[in-house]
Chains A and B, each alone.
Chain A
Amino acid sequence: MAFEPVREMKKLNYDEMRIYSEAELKNYTEEELKSFKCKYEIPDLDELEKGPWPSFVSDTKQEALRRRKLSDDQMLIGRDVCEDMLGQLQTSFDEGETHWKHGGIVGVFGYGGGVIGRYSDLAEKYPSIAMFHTVRVNQPASKFYSTDFLKTICDMWEYRGSGMMNLHGSTGDLVLLGTTTEQLEPIFYELGHVLDTDIGGSGSNLRTPACCIGKARCEFACYDTQDLCYDLTQYYQDELHRPAFPYKFKFKFDGCPNGCVASIARSDMSFIGTWRDDIRIDQDAVKAYIAGDIVPNAGAHGKRDWGKFDINKEVISLCPTKCMSMEGDQLVIDNSECVRCMHCINTMPRALKPGLDTGITILLGAKAPILDGAQMATLMVPFMKAEAPYDNIKAFVERVWEFWMEEGKNRERLGELMQRVTLPKFIETIGLPPAPQMVKAPRANPYIFWKEEDVKGGWNRDINDYRSRHKR
């Protein structure tokens, strides 16, 4: 099977796009790197070069050295940008406070997001980072890249920016850290015209959607996470670039309830793959696990000795609904009682697989603590088919957005709106019937907000009629 992009994409060939020659790319020696000294005293950062974990300081020094040796016409922002960043970081350590100013409204024409303005409050001391704006580049779904793409971004970014970046930011974008206001439009033009790609979201808009690896390399994926992510990203380009929402809105796509992109914790609308038929069982493979011929949990426990695999102890008794049993040498699952937690499938992946009638569960309203405390997403749609062109999903998205855009206050996340208007009112407004799946338990208090129309005869009563039966 193959997918087609929504439009013809420009071919990428680094050798046709590059700025730097091979000689310029290798413009320093190992010896020069070893003896490199930052122009500022940075003892705390030098300390962070030690230890086994990859050191961002060592990496930054590489780029600092490269920039020292590049010719003046091979960069458009300050040569010392890396060293100034390190210098300011050391100052921040010394003083225990950040030195980035608050705010700074910059961007590209016609878009309301994707660029974050940033200014140093130590511009005289560290002039190359006086302006240090961020550009969020919308990552390809599940973050596979060709080196042609990455190498071209690197040349463009070293030339027009600091050469420092994040792979990737928390929301999922490829983040370019540190450039001047002047270079924002040129960078945007290069991204569009040469790399045929776009920037991501920031501010009160649809944030760059992100997904797990899905069917590209995972046997558990219950729907095409990449395809749905790409499809909705393209379909909602306007919402992504032009802030029209009360606050940010995040889509994230997990292929199964293992939740590798954490959609349930950090997206306003969480799409999690699931199935509604039976778990597929290969009884021979079950026997092989029991016999010890296959290592459980795909070998995730390495060489630590946890004893011989015990299907009762490790699978059947850990099942949250106790819907599994052995009948003779056959593993039996009461699928109607299964809550699809994935434990048995994760533990015996060669023997058990998700069903074939797959789709998504949709949950709403996750967010970080600002403001009224963290929220996880609440179950809203138990099962929805997820097949291109995903019209059913788009219709649901828009039902939710319509209400949120109408009722949401400035800087109110969907989860907070759901709490403020209450869940019963929220589902009534978006047109969903109440279901016990939406709650962990029914309410423990009887303070039901009965509506007048719920009660026979309404609320208008005559006190004289009442007093005709009850003396004062």
Chain B
Amino acid sequence: MALSKERLGRYNPEKPQENRLTDLGPRHFWEFFPPVIKENYGTWAYHDILEPGVLAHVSDSGAKVYTVRCGAARFMTVEHVREICAIADQHCDGYVRFTTRNNIEFLVDSAEKLEALKKDLEGRKFAGGSYKFPIGGTGAGISNIVHTQGYIHCHTPATDASSMVKAVSDELFEYFKGMTLPAKLRVSMACCLNMCGAVHCSDIALLGYHRKPPIVDSEYISKLCEIPLAIAACPVGAISPDKTESGLKSVKIKGERCMFCGNCYTMCQALPLSDKEGDGVTILAGGKISNRISMPKFSKVVVPWLPNSFPRFPEVVENVKKIVEAYAKGANKYERVGDWAERIGWERFFEQCELEFTEHLIDDYRLAYDTWRTSTQFKFTDAAWALSKEAGGIE
């Protein structure tokens, strides 16, 4: 059946229920598997990473499938998707796959096809000079940075996503193309703490954050919002009822109570938070979701705020590189960033990564006490001497 070219296609606004198909659900996965996947489904015996970005899976029957993993911006146009399809048509019998981390995977069933595919992929560049299909993202390296919409499509961001991810990925490119780290390192990016990207368990998380309380659009709030819902949306009770001079119902904000979460703006568009000087980037580190060796863990805030320096975010890039390089140098084989930080101690983490420890990094929200150190076990770093001196303990 051909796609319709009628302005309203198959939809008749006079009879909106006519021929309406609902609850079809997604197409079934089986039809999208290349033959080698269908034939060996559930019988894979083992795999090898032949080189960064190239996997070979071997089934019980001895059949092999080679996968070439390519980085991609998750934002892409139909023009790029058509090029992906042309490659898949030429090399992969018309099948292609995307990973959870927005990589593209091309699968072939022989070593000869693999070489031709790799050569083809490596030769393709955008007119601006960047690679269209960089091969990598496997093993003990850095895979694609998952991220959110940012200024391209979102109404609540505290920073932009695609530009920051491009800037950081350019700088971490050697780690995408190589497998020289102690273990995999996952970088994730979310442009506000709604975190549609759920970055809170990543080795390194980049998070857009506001620092100014909402502005109250007093003359309009009573028309645009349910005021009680806006008040109830605040987790710290910083919003209370108010009246404008003209007697309209409004709210007032206790700025010193605000933790800048933006939940009020989600509930009420008359309470915008975004601001050029206020908004910026928080870096968290040491989280993971794998159960390997240690349990999954949350990322911890290690850099409280950096400015939104569009388009290349040099301060963010510099701090991310500091963490990656210190980790690459210091961690044991198989140790994730969080495991490494816990083994050497967070005080040593800050020293090794050359990150400043400020009061912002000591938790003062709920359950904060769980993070206080209730032990005499610590390491002497410069921070310990500075503290001891300040307390009158040493000269």
Q: Do A and B make up one complex? A: yes
Q: Are A164 and B75 in contact (CB under 8 A)?
A: yes
Q: B66-74, B250-258, B380-388: which lies at the A interface?
A: B66-74
Whether A61 touches B153, Cβ cut-off 8 Å, given contacts A168-B98, A342-B291, is: no
- Chain A contacts for B333, CB-based, 8 A: 301, 306, 314
Q: Are A158 and B78 in contact (CB under 8 A)?
A: yes
Whether A142 touches B97, Cβ cut-off 8 Å, given contacts A151-B85, A259-B291, is: yes
Q: Are B155 and A101 in contact (CB under 8 A)?
A: yes
Chain B proximity of A189: nearest CB distance (Å): 4
Of the candidates A58, A93, A149, A213, which one forms a contact with B310 in the assembled complex, judged by CB atoms under 8 Å apart? A93
Of the candidates A118, A215, A300, which one forms a contact with B41 in the assembled complex, judged by CB atoms under 8 Å apart? A215
Q: Is the interface of B mostly helix, strand, loop or mixed?
A: loop
- Chain A contacts for B97, CB-based, 8 A: 142-145, 213
* Range, interface on chain A: 35 or more
Whether A147 touches B85, Cβ cut-off 8 Å, given contacts A59-B73, A237-B25, is: yes
Q: B268-276, B344-352, B371-379: which lies at the A interface?
A: B268-276
Chain B proximity of A179: nearest CB distance (Å): 12
Q: Known pairs A53-B170, A151-B82, A192-B22; list 11 more (Cβ under 8 Å).
A: A50-B129, A53-B134, A54-B132, A58-B130, A59-B75, A159-B3, A163-B79, A194-B1, A258-B291, A304-B140, A314-B334
Whether A150 touches B276, Cβ cut-off 8 Å, given contacts A19-B3, A54-B72, A89-B151, is: no
- 9 sampled A-B residue pairs with Cβ under 8 A: A3-B30, A52-B173, A54-B131, A54-B133, A168-B98, A197-B27, A219-B47, A318-B334, A376-B296
Of the candidates A95, A146, A167, which one forms a contact with B32 in the assembled complex, judged by CB atoms under 8 Å apart? A146
- Chain A contacts for B17, CB-based, 8 A: 109
- Interface residue? B338 (CB, 8 A): no
Q: B111-119, B191-199, B240-248: which lies at the A interface?
A: B191-199
- Chain B contacts for A369, CB-based, 8 A: 193, 195, 200, 261
Considering the chains assembled together, what is the distance between the CA atoms of A138 and B25 in angstroms? 7
Q: Are A60 and B77 in contact (CB under 8 A)?
A: yes
Q: Are B26 and A376 in contact (CB under 8 A)?
A: no
Chain A proximity of B210: nearest CB distance (Å): 11
Q: Are A82 and B29 in contact (CB under 8 A)?
A: no
Whether A198 touches B308, Cβ cut-off 8 Å, given contacts A51-B166, A151-B85, A185-B11, is: no
Q: Are A343 and B94 in contact (CB under 8 A)?
A: no
Q: Are B166 and A48 in contact (CB under 8 A)?
A: yes
Q: Mark A163-207, 1 if CB is under 8 A from B, else 0.
A: 111111111100001100010011111101111111000000000
- Chain B contacts for A326, CB-based, 8 A: none
- Interface residue? A262 (CB, 8 A): yes
- Chain A contacts for B85, CB-based, 8 A: 147, 150-151, 154
Q: Are A301 and B73 in contact (CB under 8 A)?
A: no
Whether A10 touches B30, Cβ cut-off 8 Å, given contacts A53-B170, A302-B180, A370-B263, is: no
- Interface residue? A372 (CB, 8 A): yes
Nearest chain B residue, comparing its CB with the CB of A56: B73
- Chain A contacts for B21, CB-based, 8 A: 189, 192-193
- Interface residue? A335 (CB, 8 A): no
Whether A163 touches B139, Cβ cut-off 8 Å, given contacts A49-B126, A52-B170, A92-B151, is: no
Of the candidates B26, B75, B149, B200, which one forms a contact with A140 in the assembled complex, judged by CB atoms under 8 Å apart? B26
Within 8 A of B (CB), among A249-268: 257-262, 264-266
- Chain A contacts for B173, CB-based, 8 A: 51-53
Q: Mark B34-70, 1 if CB is under 8 A from A, else 0.
A: 1001100110111111111000010000000101000
Q: Are A302 and B139 in contact (CB under 8 A)?
A: yes
Considering the chains assembled together, what is the distance between the CA atoms of A241 and B179 in angstroms? 42
Considering the chains assembled together, what is the distance between the CA atoms of A34 and B96 in angstroms? 28
Within 8 A of B (CB), among A77-120: 82, 85, 88-89, 92-93, 95-103, 109-111, 118
- Chain A contacts for B141, CB-based, 8 A: 302
Within 8 A of A (CB), among B199-227: 200-201
Q: Mark B134-146, 1 if CB is under 8 A from A, else 0.
A: 1000111100001
Chain A proximity of B277: nearest CB distance (Å): 7
- Interface residue? A421 (CB, 8 A): no
Chain A proximity of B182: nearest CB distance (Å): 8
- Chain B contacts for A323, CB-based, 8 A: none
Within 8 A of A (CB), among B82-141: 82, 84-85, 88-89, 94-100, 102, 104, 107, 126-134, 138-141
Of the candidates A61, A182, A372, which one forms a contact with B235 in the assembled complex, judged by CB atoms under 8 Å apart? A372
Whether A2 touches B30, Cβ cut-off 8 Å, given contacts A36-B127, A59-B76, A151-B85, is: yes
Considering the chains assembled together, what is the distance between the CA atoms of A233 and B65 in angstroms? 29
Q: Are A100 and B155 in contact (CB under 8 A)?
A: yes
Considering the chains assembled together, what is the distance between the CA atoms of A418 and B49 in angstroms? 42
Q: Mark A114-135, 1 if CB is under 8 A from B, else 0.
A: 0000100000000000001010
Q: Mark A255-290, 1 if CB is under 8 A from B, else 0.
A: 001111110111000000000000000000000000
Q: A346-354, A398-406, A445-453: which lies at the B interface?
A: A346-354
- Chain A contacts for B319, CB-based, 8 A: none
- Interface residue? B31 (CB, 8 A): yes
Within 8 A of B (CB), among A299-326: 299-304, 306, 314, 318, 320
Considering the chains assembled together, what is the distance between the CA atoms of A3 and B72 in angstroms? 31
Q: Are B130 and A55 in contact (CB under 8 A)?
A: yes
- Interface residue? B289 (CB, 8 A): yes
Of the candidates B22, B73, B140, which one forms a contact with A55 in the assembled complex, judged by CB atoms under 8 Å apart? B73
Chain A proximity of B284: nearest CB distance (Å): 10
Chain A proximity of B79: nearest CB distance (Å): 4
Q: Are A150 and B24 in contact (CB under 8 A)?
A: no
- Interface residue? B391 (CB, 8 A): no
Considering the chains assembled together, what is the distance between the CA atoms of A194 and B6 in angstroms? 14
Q: Are A318 and B293 in contact (CB under 8 A)?
A: yes
Closest 7 CB pairs of A and B: A49-B128, A96-B276, A302-B179, A300-B139, A51-B170, A5-B28, A102-B269
Chain A proximity of B148: nearest CB distance (Å): 6
- Interface residue? A455 (CB, 8 A): no
- Interface residue? A414 (CB, 8 A): no
Q: Are B94 and A50 in contact (CB under 8 A)?
A: no
Q: Are B102 and A167 in contact (CB under 8 A)?
A: yes
Q: Are A157 and B78 in contact (CB under 8 A)?
A: yes
Of the candidates A51, A260, A339, which one forms a contact with B130 in the assembled complex, judged by CB atoms under 8 Å apart? A51
Q: Are B44 and A217 in contact (CB under 8 A)?
A: yes
Nearest chain A residue, comparing its CB with the CB of B74: A166
- Chain B contacts for A224, CB-based, 8 A: 42
- Interface residue? B394 (CB, 8 A): no
